[in-house]
Amino acid sequence: MEDLFPIIQSIPECSSSQEDLYIWTLERNCSFSVRSFYKFLVDGGLRTPLYPSFWKVDCPSKVTLFCWLANDNKIPSMSNLAKIGCNFQKATNTCVLCYNNSETVDHLLIHCEFASRIWAFYVNNLHLLTAPISLDQVWITWIPSLEAHRRTFWDLLTRAIFWNIWLERNNRIFNLAFLSTTAILFKISHMLIDWCSAARDPTLHVSSDSIQSVKRSLDFLSARPTDLASNSI
Structural domain span for residue 75: 53-222
* Count of domains for the chain: 2
Residue range 15-37, pLDDT digits in tens: 667 777 788 888 888 888 898 88
Mean pLDDT within 164-193: 94
Mean pLDDT within 118-147: 92
In a domain, 75, yes or no: yes
State the chain's mean pLDDT as an integer: 84
Work out the percent of the chain whose per-residue pLDDT is above 90. 46
Residue range 97-130, pLDDT digits in tens: 999 999 999 999 999 999 999 999 999 988 898 9
What's the pLDDT band for 161 if we cut at 50, 70, 90? very high
DSSP codes joined into one string, 1-20: -TTHHHHHHHSPP----SPP
Residues 61 and 38 in one domain: no
Q: What is the pLDDT of residue 87?
A: 65
In a domain, 228, yes or no: no
Residues 175 and 217 in one domain: yes
Residues 8 and 112 in one domain: no
Residue range 58-97, pLDDT digits in tens: 899 999 999 999 999 999 999 999 888 886 655 678 999 9
Residues 134 and 213 in one domain: yes
In a domain, 230, yes or no: no
Give 215 or 101, the one with higher predicted confidence: 101
In a domain, 231, yes or no: no
Residues 12 and 35 in one domain: yes
In a domain, 10, yes or no: yes
Residues 90 and 29 in one domain: no
Residues 31 and 99 in one domain: no
Residues 203 and 155 in one domain: yes
Residues 97 and 35 in one domain: no
Residues 106 and 175 in one domain: yes
Instruction: Find all residues with CB under 8 Å of 168, minimum gap 6, and list them.
Output: 97, 114, 179, 184
What's the pLDDT band for 228 if we cut at 50, 70, 90? very low
> b/e string for 4-38 if b means 16 or more Cβ within 10 A?
eeeeeeeeeeeeeeeeeeeeeeeeeeeeeeeebee
Across 48-62, 82-96, 153-167, 215-229, least confident range:
215-229
Q: What is the pLDDT of residue 16?
A: 67
In a domain, 31, yes or no: yes
Residues 63 and 25 in one domain: no
Mean pLDDT within 157-173: 97
CA distance 105 to 80: 8
Residues 27 and 111 in one domain: no
